[in-house]
Chain A
Amino acid sequence: MKQQELTCIGCPLGCTVTVTTNDLPGPDGENILSVTGNTCPRGDSYARKEVTCPTRIVTSTVRVRGGTSPLVNVKTASAIPRDKIFDCMNAIKDVTVTAPVHIGDRILSNVAGTDVDVVAARNIPSAEV
């Protein structure tokens, strides 16, 4: 048996949730024996997910050519596995886009083999010539 303490991030309350697992590897969470300490159902599902496959939205910036700003901020369109964060950063490191850029424009597809796109999260108009 193994006990892991997590801080739930479902809301600002930040419950301390304890997840007890048996020693068998369980990629789908069947090894989870109990989840305690949460004060709402979101805490339960967060803790189960965090123990089996934690995911994060990654946000960063890429260079813009010909825009009113030298950078546009970008995000993964949905959460990607936590262990792919640095692969994602490497993939977007050398990307340059051309203005204008609009919120939601696809910057990279299937980043780091996650099936998730990286999209623009800001409007950057073309610089006036």
Chain B
Amino acid sequence: MKNHDLVIIGGGPAGLAAAVSAKDHGIDDIVIIERDKEPGGILNQCIHNGFGLHTFGEELTGPEYADRFICQTAARKITCQLNTMVMDLKAGPDFKTVTAINRKDGIFQIHAKAVILAMGCRERPRGALNIPGTRPAGIFSAGTAQRLVNMEGLMPGREVVILGSGDIGLIMARRMTLEGAHVSVVAELQPYSGGLKRNIVQCLNDFGIPLKLSHTVTDIEGTDRLCAVTIAQAGPDGRPVPGSETRYPCDTLLLSCGLIPENELTRGAGIRIDPVTQGPVVSDSLETSAEGIFACGNVLHVHDLVDYVSLEAAAAGKNAARYIRGGRSAAGGTIAIRPENGVRYTVPAFISPDGTDETVTVRFRVDRIYRNHTIAVYFDNTPVSRRKRPVMAPGEMEQVILDRKKLAASPDLHSVTIRIEAPA
């Protein structure tokens, strides 16, 4: 049995930034547990540029962005235990029990005063999409293809169709094209893209790759290897429109159909999960329903920009440090944040009225594209702020910053409501 003040599960962008922040807020005994052979997480395979515009004011590639934080953890002498997989997490008021395994130590347990969940997310696989057809080789999640091409130097195929317009799918459309493959089409079930605008421009438009919105794969052909897919238009009811089918001969189908926070450990610890985000329900200090267990990054909710992950993780690290130093979790009443009218969810889900930060950042996503709509905030039924946004899309995270002084000025406040409202 080992004892540590803080165990961080996951050494990707969230785990690294949380560790740096916890250290800078006075916690020395920190261990990051990472299952891969190196820290950095998914950033290591994201070789495209565009990371860090907000954090560092320059456009870095994924590995460069990761390196900035790896250097910061190294400078602070923070231990990162690599090649180690956490198997189980148990909550408890005095200490949390982390059970992990690796080749050197076998199975071992750590008692931690606090834990930060930073396990990230994974891609929705074919099995979760219910696509008809055979089960040949040649069907990859976009992230798997990204790892093969960018880290292992292997080409998954030559004639490519992509289903789903998430950012990784768009990025891989360009990457496969640059490496000599032909990408014939990107099909997206929704009437809008799930990816960032810049990726539509620089990954599809630059190379003349068509994006077919409201289209999906209705058949997969091939016995050993994929030989064709059929793409059809999806009607308003989500069903294929008869007669709209086009057959695309291809040897590779990449799936970029959404990311799911990876919360097996969280569920195992009995922590409450939000049915919309599939991540833990957290307070404004990013603490889960289990005292002293915090969450940040894509395990909490899927982010669009890593810069926001780093910011959120820094907050989790700071709050975990405060908890370890003896600031107990907030007791008593809480203010619920209600997502309404186009707001799908909020992180955090509730606010502790006795928090100490000057502001509370509430992040959320909208359920469809809104043009010239307003983000309205209500304290109970009283309107407190309105902010007009030229465009909001489900693929891009929105935020509202609440002033703690205003919250404190309303001592009987039960709930904060965030709504999308049409122009007057």
Chain A contacts to B: CB under 8 angstroms = 6-9, 12-15, 39, 56-61, 63, 69-71, 73, 75, 82, 85-86, 89, 103, 121-123
Question: Given the complex, which residues of A lie within 8 Å of B205, measured CB to CB?
Answer: 7
Asked if residues B197 and A71 are in contact (CB atoms below 8 Å), the reply is no
- Picked from B48, B59, B152, B198, the residue with its CB within 8 Å of the CB of A14 is B198
- Picked from A8, A39, A73, the residue with its CB within 8 Å of the CB of B61 is A73
Give Cα A121 to B43, complex, Å. Answer: 12
Question: Given the complex, which residues of B lie within 8 Å of A61, measured CB to CB?
Answer: 47, 149-150, 153
B54 → chain A closest CB, angstroms: 10
Chain B contacts to A: CB under 8 angstroms = 44, 47-49, 59-61, 63-64, 67, 149-153, 178-179, 196-198, 200-202, 205-206, 304-305, 390-391, 396
Asked if residues A63 and B67 are in contact (CB atoms below 8 Å), the reply is no
Give Cα A113 to B201, complex, Å. Answer: 25
Question: Given the complex, which residues of A lie within 8 Å of B396, measured CB to CB?
Answer: 12
Tell me how many residue pairs across A and B have CB atoms closer than 8 Å.
Answer: 78
Asked if residues B197 and A9 are in contact (CB atoms below 8 Å), the reply is yes
- Picked from A9, A14, A60, the residue with its CB within 8 Å of the CB of B178 is A60
Asked if residues A121 and B201 are in contact (CB atoms below 8 Å), the reply is no
Question: Given the complex, which residues of B lie within 8 Å of A58, measured CB to CB?
Answer: 178
- Picked from B60, B151, B200, the residue with its CB within 8 Å of the CB of A71 is B151
Asked if residues A122 and B64 are in contact (CB atoms below 8 Å), the reply is yes
Asked if residues B304 and A12 are in contact (CB atoms below 8 Å), the reply is yes
Asked if residues B197 and A14 are in contact (CB atoms below 8 Å), the reply is yes
Question: Given the complex, which residues of B lie within 8 Å of A122, measured CB to CB?
Answer: 44, 47, 61, 63-64, 67
Question: Given the complex, which residues of B lie within 8 Å of A75, measured CB to CB?
Answer: 47, 49, 61
Given A14-B196, A73-B47, A85-B178, 8 other A-B contacts at CB below 8 A? A9-B201, A9-B202, A12-B197, A15-B390, A56-B202, A86-B178, A103-B67, A121-B60
Give Cα A5 to B289, complex, Å. Answer: 48
A99 → chain B closest CB, angstroms: 14
A-B contact pairs, 28 of them (CB 8 A): A7-B200, A7-B201, A8-B197, A9-B198, A12-B197, A12-B198, A12-B305, A13-B197, A14-B196, A14-B391, A39-B390, A56-B206, A57-B49, A58-B178, A59-B47, A61-B47, A61-B150, A61-B153, A70-B153, A71-B151, A71-B153, A73-B47, A73-B61, A73-B63, A82-B206, A103-B67, A122-B63, A122-B67
- Picked from A13, A15, A57, A60, the residue with its CB within 8 Å of the CB of B59 is A57
A97 → chain B closest CB, angstroms: 13
Question: Given the complex, which residues of B lie within 8 Å of A8, measured CB to CB?
Answer: 197
Give Cα A69 to B44, complex, Å. Answer: 11
Give Cα A22 to B178, complex, Å. Answer: 33
Considering only CB atoms, which chain B residue lies closest to A72 in the complex?
A: B63
Question: Ordered nearest first, which 8 A-B pairs have the shortest CB separation?
Answer: A14-B197, A9-B198, A73-B47, A122-B63, A121-B61, A57-B49, A71-B153, A7-B201
Give Cα A66 to B415, complex, Å. Answer: 59
* Most chain A beta-carbon neighbours within 10 Å: one of B49, B67, B149: B49
A116 → chain B closest CB, angstroms: 13
Give Cα A75 to B196, complex, Å. Answer: 21
Asked if residues A89 and B67 are in contact (CB atoms below 8 Å), the reply is no
A37 → chain B closest CB, angstroms: 10
**Contact of A63 with B202 at beta-carbon distance under 8 Å, contacts A73-B63, A121-B61 already known:** no
- Picked from B149, B151, B198, B201, the residue with its CB within 8 Å of the CB of A69 is B151
A50 → chain B closest CB, angstroms: 9
Give Cα A81 to B185, complex, Å. Answer: 25
**Contact of A59 with B64 at beta-carbon distance under 8 Å, contacts A9-B201, A15-B390, A71-B151 already known:** no
Give Cα A127 to B198, complex, Å. Answer: 37
B392 → chain A closest CB, angstroms: 10
